[in-house]
Amino acid sequence: MEAARFARIRRAILSLPGEAVVVDHTRSGARSPETMAGDERELIDALLAGDEAVFASVVAMHQPGLVRVARAWVKDADSAREVVQATWLAALESFERFDGRSALRTWLFGILINIARSHTRAARRTVPLSALVADELTDATPIVDPERFFPRGHAWEGHWQAAPLPFPTPDAALERRELRALLEEAIAALPPLQQQIVVLFDIEGLTGPEICNVLGVSSTNQRVLLHRARSQLRAIIERHLGRSGDE
Amino acid sequence: MSEPELTCKEVVELVNDYLSAVMPAADRPRFADHLAECPGCSTYLEQMKTTIELTGQLREDELGDDIKRDLLEAFRRWKKSL
């Protein structure tokens, strides 16, 4: 059974055309319809014409993501909401100048980050972006505890000593709620860039290039930081489920 | 000359490149060979996919009424100023 399963995995990986598995961003249902250029144009025309229903739907679509990203900059929920409120006002003021060269969401997140940054600057010291990037890249926290692998000199050096076990399927609603709360907390505890990258990529469904544009990081750094963030979250879920395989 | 086999420790470093579809084609056979034979690493890959999926499910679409009201007022003011 197992052998057949692994042969299937191997075939599946090798038979993929071009690149490997692409994370399916449509999986969580609601995604911005504005990823399609035509829809976006209509949306903008409706907003400029003063259509309140359209404005309400644009707000509903982006508010949660904007709040999440704001939280990477300002720690309490009230300040985050203030920053987001200021973002909408600034967006309205400059809306006529929105040229549609970037997607509306990229433009909104860009405004938000500028406001959040100056908010942070006013509250504390200035942290240049390059310093944030350097900080998070040089952080030496391993993505998997090195003790989980056989040590140097061992015949199985670098292979699992305490292999992970499959996550049990959380079936009860209570377990799911617990897991959500745990993830929310874990994301909030990530360093600011990793937090924003994981929010923008895995929750809000922005593309890699959009994220690089919004945050001003290179695509290599974006990838490395996403990798770190996801690995941290995996480890936290694993610890929570108490199935590290080394009992 | 064939490349040396990957260790599990190396595979976990490559998982995200694989999931983000940026793994160089040249690395894929070694990665696939390893996963095909290593239950630990294929479980790790599954866990990573589950993690990404669970994170994606955090997306909310609900909004407080007070926020909606404030923003609609701001929108009306903006409309008048046009």
Give pLDDT tens digits for A99-130. 777 788 899 999 999 998 887 766 655 667 78
A232 vs B81, residue with greater confidence: A232
- Cα(A44)–Cα(A175) distance, rounded to whole angstroms? 41
Chain A residues lying within 8 Å of B46, measured CB to CB: 166-167
Q: Which of A92, A187, A244 to mutate to test the interface with B (most CBs of B within 10 A)?
A: A92
**Per-residue confidence (pLDDT) for residue A209, from 0 to 100:** 92
Q: Kindly identify which residue of chain B lies nearest to residue A237, measuring between CA atoms.
A: B51
pLDDT in tens, A210-234: 999 999 999 999 999 999 999 999 9
- On whether residue B3 sits in a domain, the answer given is no
CB pairs A-B closer than 8 Å: 179
DSSP 8-state assignment for residue A201: I
- On whether residue B2 sits in a domain, the answer given is no
Chain B residues lying within 8 Å of A232, measured CB to CB: none
- On whether residue B64 sits in a domain, the answer given is yes
- Cβ distance of B58 and A183 shorter than 8 Å: yes
Where residue B62 falls (left for φ over 0; alpha for ψ -120 to 50; beta otherwise) is beta
Burial of A213 (0-12, 13-18, 19+ CB in 10 A): middle
**Per-residue confidence (pLDDT) for residue B61, from 0 to 100:** 61
pLDDT band at A239 (very low <50, low <70, confident <90, very high): very high
- Cα(A199)–Cα(A69) distance, rounded to whole angstroms? 7
CB within 8 Å of B30: residues ≥ 6 apart? B3, B5, B6
- Cβ distance of A30 and B59 shorter than 8 Å: yes
- Cα(A195)–Cα(A191) distance, rounded to whole angstroms? 6
Handedness of CA B36, B55, A210, A135 (dihedral sign): negative
- Cα(A170)–Cα(A166) distance, rounded to whole angstroms? 12
Q: How far is B8 from chain A (nearest CA, A)?
A: 5
- On whether residue B1 sits in a domain, the answer given is no
Chain A residues lying within 8 Å of B24, measured CB to CB: none
**Per-residue confidence (pLDDT) for residue B69, from 0 to 100:** 84
- Nearest by CB: B33 against A10, A56, A245: A10
- On whether residue B71 sits in a domain, the answer given is yes
**Per-residue confidence (pLDDT) for residue A231, from 0 to 100:** 96
- Cβ distance of A52 and B72 shorter than 8 Å: yes
Q: Which of A108, A234, A237 to mutate to test the interface with B (most CBs of B within 10 A)?
A: A234
ipTM summary value: 0.87
The tokens describing B44, both together, are 């790790």
- Cβ distance of B52 and A202 shorter than 8 Å: yes
Domains in chain B: how many in total?
Answer: 1
What residue numbers bound the domain in which B34 lies? Answer: 8-80
Q: How far is CA A193 from CA A108, A187, A211, in A?
A: 17, 11, 11
- Cβ distance of A160 and B8 shorter than 8 Å: yes
Q: Kindly identify which residue of chain B lies nearest to residue A236, measuring between CA atoms.
A: B51
Q: How far is A72 from chain B (nearest CA, A)?
A: 16
Chain A residues lying within 8 Å of B8, measured CB to CB: 149, 158-160, 163
- What's chain B's Rg over C-alpha atoms? 23
- Cβ distance of A158 and B8 shorter than 8 Å: yes
Residue carrying structure tokens 């209509």: A42
Query: A24 pLDDT exceeds 60?
Result: no
A155 vs A124, residue with greater confidence: A155
